[in-house]
Amino acid sequence: MKVSALNIQIKTLPDNPGIYKFLNKNNQIIYIGKAKNIKKRVASYFNRVHTHYKTKLLVKQIVSIENIVVETETDALLLENTLIKKFKPKYNIHLKDDKTYPWICIKKNPAPKIFYTRSPTKNDDEYFGPFTSVKSVKLLIKLIKDLYPFLNHELIHLLKKEKTKISSKQIEMDIDSIKFIINGNFKNSIDDFKSQMKTYSDSMEFEKAQEIKEKLEILYNYQAKSTIVNPKISDIDIFSICSDDAFAYVNFMQIAFGSITSSYNIELKKTLNESNKEILRLSIIELRKRFKSKSIKLILPFYINLGGNIKTIIPKIGEKRKLLDLSLKNAKAYRVERFKQTKILDPERHAIRILSQMKLDLKLSQDPYHIECFDISNINGANAVAACVVFNNIKPQKKEYRCFNIKSVRGINDFASIQEVVFRRYTRILNEKRSLPQLIIVDGGKGQLSSAMKSIDKLGLRDKIAVIGIAKRLEEIYYPGDSIPLYLDKRSETLKVIQRLRNEAHRFGLNFHRSKRSKAALSSVLDDIEGIGPKTRIKLIKKFKSFKNIKNATKNEITEIIGVSKATNLIKKIHQTLTNKKTII
């Protein structure tokens, strides 16, 4: 059955917090929602029966989905509020009015004040927010007024009565402390409160100690504000980029008065070996033209000369850096979405992309279309076997898997075993004039890799095949003749492919080893039973496969295979063996 474009979008949405936009066939936004997990929330619209008529109608009209990833669910709520006010989607009803979220304002002139407002303005006053709860804002302001009475104008007359005079320098210092509290930096205040509470408690002033305790609880319970804050960050465009060997992914965000007003992602196919800087420069010009942006301030990950009066900002810390990181997070999330979509729609392109990335990560001379991986299995040197698994275009080719009995090695010697198996494998391939792999992976570190290379050199294949070893402990990648390993990112697709090959070789080899060990154990037990000759042993092995199965079989089942006399003798011997605890199962 053909998978629709909408279904593919739903399957490949990110699992992050953020907002989602539903668009109709005319490319109009008909609904904007927020979610802690975008993928799960959007999927819920399509995998349940809706009883509400309007929801049914909404789902029928959805043709495509867009999303913006943010850091927290609180950020998603604030962004949802901003976008609903801007686009006024047909099916959004709760946030269409002019109500907005509260901000805390500190006014210095003519007299210091602190209050909350829903309408921040561009003036010399300082604004902090937006906050998601008016209640928490009121509690915070009350707390600040209790801490700093000069802001509590209802009590000014008491201050005058006490002839308390506060210097302008002290007021500036207090306002700086207030900013720390608003920004969520409570350590100094908490330490002071704890000290005060202890002092009051020691002096038996328990009511005052309780008041301080309540202030502490307010600080502990207060939730940090959104990362999308300062209203002075306005009329700014943000661009970020991430890329791989074949494609680049650019995110464009527009910021107005401290909030994201739009976010857009594009995928660009690389034609030559273009740098991220060159790709981003061309993208900025195209996207600003497409969205008719007049902003003269750009936040970028690195400097790009765009000419004219455009100012480039490359933030290292602070709120602008947080916004740049958020843009990059959206670009990376879009890249993952496109990977998932490509895997469904165009698996061949998906394979080519991963192989190109492997070539880049492992510094290979060609894409590793054909990969073979070797693993050794044994217990204390007994029943040693080797496994070779084969992947073509990162897909397992199980018909080409091969198992090897180790012939020339006695005891525990994985190095010699690898050397023997690699030599046997590629001697046969050369004799049969079959194609060689582009990459050989050896399960093990420097020792196993060096042993494999002895056979590769003996066959004259060093310059024809790339060989690497992978050590299990820290997943180090070793190269012939290089003692310093390569460490790939744990999330790297290259490492995941290598691990998959290694694990498949281990699984395949272990199954063969268990089978061989089981047959060897059964054969050795039967060898000790008088009257059970080679032909009888073969019959029992073919029928029961293991000693455990023989032990659990009924006398009639064994009699059918080897007759009454031998069956009676066999059952008696098994019973004696188990009693003496000499059998190894």
pLDDT of residue 152: 66
Q: Which CATH superfamily is domain 5-87 in?
A: GIY-YIG endonuclease (3.40.1440.10)
Closest by CA position to 420, among listed 383, 401, 381, 448: 448
Q: Which residues pair with 240 in a beta bridge?
A: 251
Q: Which residues pair with 297 in a beta bridge?
A: 236, 311
The third-level CATH classification (topology) of the domain covering 359-514 is Nucleotidyltransferase; domain 5 (3.30.420)
Split at pLDDT 50, 70, 90, the class of 584 is: very low
Spatial distance between the Cα atoms of 332 and 292, rounded to a whole number of angstroms: 25
pLDDT of residue 52: 75
The third-level CATH classification (topology) of the domain covering 528-580 is DNA polymerase; domain 1 (1.10.150)
**pLDDT per position as a tens digit, 80-104:** 877 877 788 888 754 444 456 678 8
* SS3 labels along 497-545: HHHHHHHHHHHHHHHHHHHHHHHHHHHHHHHCCCCCCHHHHHHHHHHHC
Q: What percent of the chain has pLDDT over 90?
A: 20
Which of 283-297, 316-330, 446-460 bottoms out in mean pLDDT, i.e. has the lowest? 283-297
**pLDDT per position as a tens digit, 236-249:** 899 999 987 778 89
pLDDT of residue 520: 55
Whether the predicted pLDDT of 538 surpasses 90: no
pLDDT of residue 193: 76
Whether the predicted pLDDT of 253 surpasses 80: yes
Q: How do beta strands 466-471 and 439-443 pair? A: parallel
What residues have CB less than 8 Å from 58, skipping those under 6 apart?
Answer: 22, 30, 31, 45, 91
Split at pLDDT 50, 70, 90, the class of 390 is: very high
Q: Which residues pair with 322 in a beta bridge?
A: none
At 533, list the tokens: 């000759």
Split at pLDDT 50, 70, 90, the class of 422 is: very high
At 169, list the tokens: 């320098």
Global pTM reads: 0.49
Q: Which residue has 């399957």 as its token pair?
A: 11
> What does the domain layout of the chain look like in residue ranges?
5-87, 103-221, 236-344, 359-514, 528-580
pLDDT of residue 582: 46
Q: Which DSSP state fits 203? A: T
